[in-house]
A and B are shown apart, each in its own frame.
Chain A
């Protein structure tokens, strides 16, 4: 194929129920490697340390036990890492399935991101894959101690007010709730950005 020839996108297909030994082998105790895990920033990385925890809920409100959640975030300086696992101890990239926790939670250990550019409030990009989802979904997680930055954020402003209940940014003061809004966003305000 010549480099100038335009090509059409390869269709997406569901990740299915059996991804664990392929994409998250270490987490699920299968043999084999895993490109990244729940540790997005190790203890050497300076900055406010946070834990992002939550569940993926289906349309009936039941926690999904076979979802895969990936996050991609900037560091405290607002810059994205060049490599998934660079020398700095900060990858910015996390991947975890919801099938090893009794309550189907995912959990990431990281540092709070800084603002990416002047307009954007600190946020974490979230990608959700699961059986029953033929194409993955993207959303963002914001922080509720960034009220003024959130008010200016052009992406957060796109979420219709009718879905305001699903816009509530995460509360860093209560770690266990910090990403629990993600599933609701999945059902109501997943971004199309990447879509």
Chain B
């Protein structure tokens, strides 16, 4: 795939690389300024999903981890559109998610939080956006969990998102939060985002997206850098 252009990363929207309240940034943020470069084919092209066709199971986390029953927790629908900065939909792009279970525990072996695993829940899914840029997942609402960033630190309920987008310059990894979560006010990862941009990471409850007698619906639109379109094949020749 390719992009027509890639706007700069808007640092009024993204958290800074060094954010002392999030302790792990101290040794992992770059110590030198980033080098800004002119974008060419290397940045304006990117991988498209070319694997086996994705199925309903891939995007239904309430079913894709079952062993002997249903996962515990509050079933939710998470849906939205993937757009570029002109507001145009980004079709056929891969959206991958992963999350903790309803008790706040990840299946990852490194997760030591003292909350129960759910034998019927893995917490990972993937889907492609449709022609209108729409993605949709079924899952259970993830629980909050404690971590050791600072005393009595708790992560708000969240779902991790990874998007390929049309080019490597539009690559995005982020986290979706839930409206009204009291932990947001204390979470250094969320608070690293500039104030004006924080709301963009909080999904909206939607009665329209809610499926009667089945699951609550949440809307989460995602805007990727740049504009889509067909890339000129010779951007370097001038």
- Asked if B103 is at the interface (CB within 8 A of a chain A CB), the reply is no
Q: Within 8 Å of chain B (Cβ to Cβ): is A46?
A: no
Asked if A192 is at the interface of the complex by the 8 Å CB criterion, the answer is yes
Bound Cα distance from A137 to B34, whole angstroms: 9
Question: What 1/0 flags go to A1-29 for Cβ under 8 Å of B?
Answer: 11111111111111111111111010000
Residue from A32, A81, A86, A133 within 8 A of B25 (CB atoms)? A133
0/1 per residue, A122-143, Cβ < 8 Å to B?
A: 0101010111111111101000
CB of A114 within 8 Å of the partner chain = no
Contacts of A136 in B (CB 8 A): 171, 173
Map CB proximity to A onto B188-202 as digits: 1 under 8 Å, 0 otherwise: 011011100110110
Please give, as numbers and ranges, the residues of chain B lying within 8 Å of A60 by CB-CB distance.
27
Is the beta-carbon distance between A192 and B36 smaller than 8 angstroms?
Answer: yes
Classify the secondary structure of B's interface with A.
loop
Q: How many residues of A contact B (CB 8 A)?
A: 84
Question: What count of chain B residues pass the 8 Å CB interface test?
Answer: 92
Q: Are B27 and A59 in contact (CB under 8 A)?
A: yes
Contacts of A33 in B (CB 8 A): 51-52, 58, 126
Smallest Cβ distance from A175 to chain B, in angstroms?
Answer: 23
> Known contacts A7-B85, A23-B162, A58-B27: does B49 contact A35 (CB below 8 Å)?
yes
- Distance in Å: Cβ of A92 to nearest Cβ of chain B: 7
**B114 touches A (CB below 8 Å):** no
* B236 proximity list for chain A (CB < 8 A): 117-120
Complex contact B30–A85 (CB within 8 A): no
Question: Which of A31, A60, A195 gathers the greatest number of chain B CB atoms within 10 Å?
Answer: A195
Q: Which of A15, A92, A133 has the most CB of B within 10 A?
A: A133
Contact of B96 among A13, A22, A83 (CB under 8 A): A22
Q: Which residue of A lies closest to B37 (CB)?
A: A193
B35 touching A158, Cβ below 8 Å:
yes
Q: Per-residue CB proximity of A45-71 to B under 8 Å, as 1/0?
A: 000000000000011101010100010
A161 is an interface residue with CB less than 8 A from chain B: no
In the complex, A109→B192 CA distance in Å?
37
Answer whether residue B50 sits at the interface, using C-beta atoms and an 8 A cutoff.
yes
Cβ contact within 8 Å between A1 and B14:
no
The residues of B that contact A13 with a CB separation of less than 8 Å are 15, 160, 173-175, 189-190, 193, 201
Given contacts A11-B193, A33-B126, contact A188 B221 (CB under 8 A): no
- Determine if B223 and A7 form an interchain contact, defined as CB atoms under 8 angstroms apart: yes
B73 CB within 8 Å of chain A: no
State which residues 21-48 of B face A: CB under 8 Å. 22, 24-32, 34-43, 45-48
CB distance from B108 to the nearest CB of A (A): 4
> A125 near B168 (CB under 8 angstroms)?
yes
Query: What residues of chain B lie closer than 8 Å to A149, measured between beta carbons?
Result: none
Tell me which residues across on chain A come within 8 A of B194, comparing CB atoms.
11
Kindly state whether residue A190 has any CB partner on chain B within 8 Å: yes
CA gap between A88 and B169 in the complex, in Å: 24
- What's the Cα separation between A105 and B84 when bound, in Å? 35
0/1 interface trace, chain B 114-146, chain A, CB 8 Å (1 if under): 000000001110100000000000000000000
Q: With a CB–CB cut-off of 8 A, which chain A residues contact B50?
A: 83-86, 91
**10 A-B residue pairings within 8 Å (CB atoms):** A6-B87, A10-B172, A11-B14, A13-B201, A22-B160, A80-B41, A117-B40, A118-B236, A191-B36, A194-B168
Which residues of A are interface residues toward B (Cβ below 8 A)? 1-23, 25, 30-33, 35-36, 58-60, 62, 64, 66, 70, 72, 74, 80-86, 91-93, 116-120, 123, 125, 127, 129-138, 140, 154-155, 158-160, 163, 186-195
